[in-house]
Amino acid sequence: MALSIRERIELARTGDNAQVIARLRSGWLALGDWQLLRGYCVLLSDPLGRDPDALPIRTLNELNPQQRGDFMLDWTATGDALLALTDCCRLNYEILGNVDPTLHAHVFPRYYDEPEEMRPRPVWGYDWGAGPHFDSARDTALMANLRQHLRRAGRIVE
């Protein structure tokens, strides 16, 4: 069974989420479970200075203006890094929250070599059971490169 966003955040805080790329100002950036679109990332909202025992943030609207700005900058900086580090041709940004109502944002790199029928469609049309999925051995280099790019952009909290 897949972990909830809240569980993923708790594991990130303790250093036990292998998919975490970095701690950003607005939360945790992690590679997604599903890597059919190489570099798919999820930004898990956990603003700096927030009480770790507080209820999870459910929507972008619950953030104050500074937190909203940080979240959007972290999200788009992730996209900048993916554009620089992969051969993707565009990005899809999505915040849904219909299944897991804890604020998280997806960044999907899209590629020219995707099946022609999938190029104009949302990623949710793919078979999410099909591989590849996160693999720490395979994905370590990409994670390190994303971390380096985001550090240069000033988005990583050390």
Instruction: Give pLDDT tens digits for 106-124.
Output: 999 999 999 999 999 999 9
How far is residue 127's CA from residue 105's CA, in Å, rounded to a whole number?
20
How far is residue 145's CA from residue 158's CA, in Å, rounded to a whole number?
16
Percent of the chain with pLDDT over 70: 99
pLDDT at position 138? 97
Residue 67 corresponds to which tokens in the numbers above? 């937190």
pLDDT at position 130? 86
Q: Are 56 and 130 in contact (CB under 8 A)?
A: no
Average pLDDT, the chain: 95
Ordered alpha helix ranges (H), 14-117: 65-85
pTM over 0.85: yes
> Secondary structure of the chain: what % helix, strand, coil (to 5)?
35, 20, 45
- Within 8 A by CB and 6+ apart from 11, the residues are 3, 17
Average pLDDT over every residue of 143-151: 98
Long-range contacts at 119-122 (CB < 8 A, ≥ 24 apart): 122/92, 122/94
pLDDT at position 53? 87
**From 12-21, 64-73, 74-83, 129-138, the region with the lowest mean pLDDT:** 129-138
Q: What are phi and psi of 95, to 5 degrees?
A: -125, 120
Average pLDDT over every residue of 56-78: 96
How far is residue 65's CA from residue 108's CA, in Å, rounded to a whole number?
25
pLDDT at position 155? 97
pLDDT band at 1 (very low <50, low <70, confident <90, very high): low
Average pLDDT over every residue of 39-59: 93
pLDDT band at 125 (very low <50, low <70, confident <90, very high): very high
How does pLDDT run across 77-86, given as a tens digit for each residue? Answer: 999 999 999 9
